[in-house]
Structure formats: structure tokens, C-alpha cells
Amino acid sequence: MADELAEGGEDASKKKSGLILTIAGVAVLTLVGAGGGWIVGNMLAPGISQAEAEQAAAAEHAAAPAGGHGAPGGEEEGGLPRVATEANGTVLLEPITTNLAYPAENWIRLEVALTFNGVPDAPLAETIHQDILAYLKTVSLQQIQGPRGFQYLREDLQERVDLRSQGRVSKVLFRTFVIE
């Protein structure tokens, strides 16, 4: 009986020492992982802050005047010549952002420029802008998927603009087209 009690005490001490070793091993691995994360974070963080500083310097440089390098049509804020000007008969419409008819959680962003035959008409351009917005709210994602769907959208918008402008707008130019 005494032998059994002695063996039971040894089993309990072995279990306690195994538990302590496991806890110590987990603690050491946690400290090693935290230290490694801190080191890697310090190695990457200067690169991120340096990239942000370079972006800020580039934005500041782009905001500076171009000093006579512009086109006769005027310039945008970045110093690049404008493509859409009244001198060449092109009007850049405000970006159109709306949700699609189906699925309603998908959004579309479209930037369009109109090329007028002759002098641009601002009220007509605004009317066309609203007409395009109303049309895009009725379009489903399946109708504009793929290259053929995009072509159909271009043709539909050109047809709507032709009807609305009565031939005063010759082209509808897509600048951006994004579906999210």
C-alpha cells in the first residue's frame, strides 16, 4: 500500500511539472512572437512613413504652377492641360455615381464628356447629365457586363444624347467607368 501511495505522489508531481513546462513553453513562444512582430513592425514602419512623405512632396509639387507649360485651353489643378474646353467644343460633365437597378447594392461611377457641334450649351449639358443619371438607375448589372454590355451601354447613351440634344452633340466620350 505504501508503494502505491508513493507512486501516486510521483504521478502528481510529474503532472504538475509537465503543466509548468507547458505554460513556460507557451510564455516563451508568446514573448518570441511579440518580439519578432515588434522588430518586423519597426523595419516596415520607416518605409511606410517615408512613402507618405514622398507622396506629400509629390502632391505639393503637382500643386505648384507649371510655369508656362500649359495648353491654350487652360489647365487643371495638377498642371496638366485640359482636354475638355469650350474652345474645342467639349464639355466635361460632373461624375455620375448611382446604384444600379439590380442588384441594388452595386454602384456605378461614370465620367462623361460631350463633344458639341459648335458652341457648347451648358444648360443642355446639365439636362443630358440628369438624363444619363436617370437612365443608369434603370440599368441592371447583367445588361452591362462584359464588352458587349459596355458597347450596348455606349450605344444607348449616345442614342439618348442624340434625342435630347437634337443633333447638337456629336459624341459622348467615356472618361471613366467603374462598377463596384
Cell numbers standing for residue 31:
514573448
Query: Residue 99 in contact with residue 107, Cβ under 8 Å?
Result: yes
Looking at residue 13, what is its pLDDT?
Answer: 73
Q: Residue 110 above 60 pLDDT?
A: yes
Looking at residue 40, what is its pLDDT?
Answer: 82
Give the model confidence (pLDDT) of 15-43 as tens digits.
788 889 999 999 999 999 998 888 887 77
Tell me the CB-side half-sphere exposure of residue 153, using CA atoms within 13 A: 24
16 three-state secondary structure: helix
Cell numbers standing for residue 7:
507512486
Query: Which one is predicted more confidently, 6 or 147?
Result: 147
- Residue labelled with grid coordinates 505504501: 2
Give the global pTM. 0.54
Cell numbers standing for residue 162:
442624340
Give the model confidence (pLDDT) of 48-85 as tens digits.
555 566 666 666 655 554 444 444 444 445 544 555 56
Measured distance CA(111)–CA(103) in Å, rounded = 21
